[in-house]
Amino acid sequence: MLKKWHLFTPGPVPVHPKVLLAGAGPIPHHRLPEFSAVISEIRQDLKYLFQTERPVFFFASSGTGAMEAAVANLFSPGETVLVVRGGKFGERWGEIAETYGLNPIYVDVPWGKAVRPKEVEEKLENHPEIRAVLVQAHETSTGVKHPVRELAEITRSRDVLLVVDAISALGVYPLPMDEWGLDVVVAGSQKSLALPPGLSFIALSEKAWSRVESEGLPRYYFDLRREWKAYEKDTTAYTPAVSLLLSLRESLKHIREMGLERLFAHYSLLSEACREGVLALGLKLFAEEPCEALTVIELPDGVDGGKLNRILREKYGVIFAGGQGKLKGRVVRITHMGDQSPLDVVLALSALEIGLSEMGYPVKMGAGVSRALEYIKEKAREVSA
Ligand SMILES: *Cc1c(COP(=O)(O)O)cnc(C)c1O
């Protein structure tokens, strides 16, 4: 018998069969009018998802591609940017900025904590040369949610852009781009959009777009000026990932039917149920301000995350993610993104319990599961999917 796998990694995430099948048909030609109609439909629905009137562009790349596109299109050589660095993906913003010859200034945030808006404000006051703030909405390596809305209140009235990596946040919790005044929102397919890997997205405010016209670093594939021209003709500058776009169209159709509010309530339920279960087991959450995309659990002393994950994978077919960078071995990460229902949280918790127990940690088996079930029973009525 084939092994049944349970994927709880924060990218890739489980994809609904209907969405997979939508991309499994014959390949249409991307320059034909029929496919332009598909692109047009997708673009309308993406505006709904990003909560913006602005165009949303997509590339055939992983999420990092759209992060690179943001940097390459918005700045000129040597310009200064402020990078919120509180995890692996904050570090990535800094690495991209350095690669492109920018001058990044860092707000270093202890891993597990959210950035304090006041600190960002102070940096902006002391460094008037800063042209943008680069931040994650959800820092996937630590499970922290940064206060994006408060940051936008700071950047809004200044000649400073707020560039938000929402690769694990868009569609999971509210990030109304226009209403909050987010200048750039970046997303990726295999995380919060619950699709296979291979698509990235970027939307820019008018304020950000004016920089694209007047500035920019060397760029070719990621040149947004070319994409804009193609956009006006309902196509893309280069060959798009057609199969993934067909899957995306299917997924966006269901998101529209469900509505963003219910979608956000769904993720809120899953993440809260998981946190309740974890706490009931006497374990600690790693994030002080936990996000809805995933739960990061601090492991007790003596429990190695790598070993725990190996037992779960090999014996039970459950795949959690381990810690990245300095968190290697110290945490496990359980995602709520993708095609999951509330009872999948219960499965994840049961795996955590049995795994810890196998490692000799005195866990009261069933305690986390029981608490999560109670929580779900109480709340699921309100958000039944
Ligand atoms: C996964 C992730 C990325 C990188 O995305 P890739 O698709 O792996 O390139 C960047 N930022 C955040 C917050 C992520 O979760």
CATH 3.40.640.10 residue ranges in the chain? 17-258
Ligand 1 binding pocket, CB closer than 6 Å: 11, 62-64, 89, 136, 140, 165, 167-168, 188, 191
Note the pLDDT of residue 192.
93
Measured distance CA(7)–CA(42) in Å, rounded: 27
Express each pLDDT in 32-45 by its tens digit: 999 999 999 999 99
Cα–Cα distances (Å) from 191 to 93, 153, 272, 336, in that order, read 18, 27, 19, 10
Is 272 a residue whose pLDDT tops 80?
A: yes
> What proportion of the chain, given as a percentage, has pLDDT over 70?
99
**Is residue 214 scored above 90 in pLDDT?**
no
Q: How far apart are CA 96 and CA 72, in angstroms?
A: 9
- Residues at the binding site for substrate are 333
Average pLDDT, the chain: 97
Q: Where in the chain is the domain with CATH 3.90.1150.10?
A: 6-12+259-384
The pLDDT of residue 67 is above 90: yes
Q: Quick one: pLDDT at residue 263?
A: 96
- Interval 222-227 mean pLDDT: 97
Nearest-CA residue for ligand 1 atom 6 is 63
pLDDT at 216: 82
| Cβ(303)–Cβ(283) below 8 Å | no
For residue 85, the CA-to-ligand 1 centroid distance in Å is 14
CATH code reported for the domain at 17-258: 3.40.640.10
Second CATH level (architecture) for the domain 6-12+259-384: Alpha-Beta Complex (3.90)
The rounded Å distance from CA 64 to ligand 1 centre is 6
**What would the mean pLDDT of 69-77 be, rounded to a whole number?**
97
Q: What ligand 1 atom has the least distance to the C-alpha of 139?
A: 13
The pLDDT value given to residue 138: 98
Q: In the structure, what pLDDT confidence band is assigned to residue 383 with cuts at 50, 70 and 90?
A: low
